[in-house]
């Protein structure tokens, strides 16, 4: 069976053995009560039944069968959860790994080539591309208003920046 990492287990939550999980995908239909996930604690992935899973404004919470105390939940901290590849949604065109886009060319619709992605950081609401150009470094938040589009085949980030955008080479 081909397994794919779908989340990382965080800190324990509460006294029932629940844990916070950091999901690598926005939606995982197979991650639900009665489902199965695989946990790798160093000796290879082992199946674990999902007793409960829910999401709310503070994050995603998972409860595995047999993990009933905070001490047992603490032993899972930092481990990855896996699911069969057939249960994991295919990547959408706007999904990306932050390391994947480092080195991508950044092109503006009206100005042409602006530079290359030096790094990517995540904020509370959006990703920020840190762009390095000849004699300048600037940031572009990945928001629709700036027309940010990824072209994975061309290894490029296309943007449509407004006139007077701060930090662009040649602007004041």
Measure the CA–CA gap between 47 and 60, rounded to whole angstroms: 20
pLDDT digits 0-9 by tens, 7-59: 889 999 999 999 999 887 777 777 889 999 999 877 888 999 999 999 888 88
The residue among 114 and 147 whose pLDDT is bigger is 114
37 class by beta-carbon count within 10 Å (0-12 exposed, 13-18 middle, 19+ buried): buried
More confident position, 121 or 13:
13
**Per-residue model confidence (pLDDT) at position 170:** 67
Measure the CA–CA gap between 7 and 24, rounded to whole angstroms: 5
- The pLDDT tens digits of the residues spanning 125-159 come to 678 899 999 878 999 988 777 888 888 778 899 99
State yes or no: pLDDT of 167 exceeds 90.
Answer: no
The predicted model scores a pTM of 0.54
First to last CA, the chain: 56
pLDDT bin (cut points 50, 70, 90) of residue 115 is very high
The rounded distance, in Å, linking the Cα atoms of 40 and 34 is: 19
The confidence score (pLDDT) of residue 149 equals 85
What is the reported pLDDT for 54? Answer: 92
On the question of pLDDT at 80 being above 70, the answer is yes
| Mean of pLDDT values over 71-85 | 91
Which domains are present in the chain?
A: 3-87 (2.40.30.60), 98-159 (2.30.30.240)
The per-residue pLDDT for 51 is: 95
Distance between CA atoms of residues 96 and 124, nearest Å: 17
- Looking up tokens 């955008």 gives 165
Number of C-beta neighbours around residue 107 at 10 A: 19
């Amino acid at each position: 069976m081909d397994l794919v990492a779908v989340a990382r287990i965080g800190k324990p939550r509460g006294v029932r053995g629940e844990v916070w999980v950091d999901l690598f995908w926005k939606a995982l239909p197979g991650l639900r009560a009665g489902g199965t996930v695989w946990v790798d604690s160093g000796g290879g992935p082992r199946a674990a039944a999902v007793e409960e899973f829910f999401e709310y404004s503070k994050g995603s919470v998972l409860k595995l069968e047999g993990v009933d105390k905070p001490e047992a939940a603490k032993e899972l901290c930092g481990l990855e959860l896996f699911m069969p590849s057939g249960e994991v949604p295919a990547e959408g065109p706007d999904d990306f790994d932050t390391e994947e886009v480092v080195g991508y060319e950044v092109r503006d619709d009206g100005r042409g080539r602006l530079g290359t992605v030096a790094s990517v950081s995540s904020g509370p609401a959006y990703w920020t591309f840190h762009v390095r150009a000849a004699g300048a470094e600037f940031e572009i938040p990945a928001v629709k208003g700036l027309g940010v589009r990824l072209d994975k085949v061309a290894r490029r980030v296309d943007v449509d920046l407004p006139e007077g955008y701060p930090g662009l080479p040649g602007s004041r």
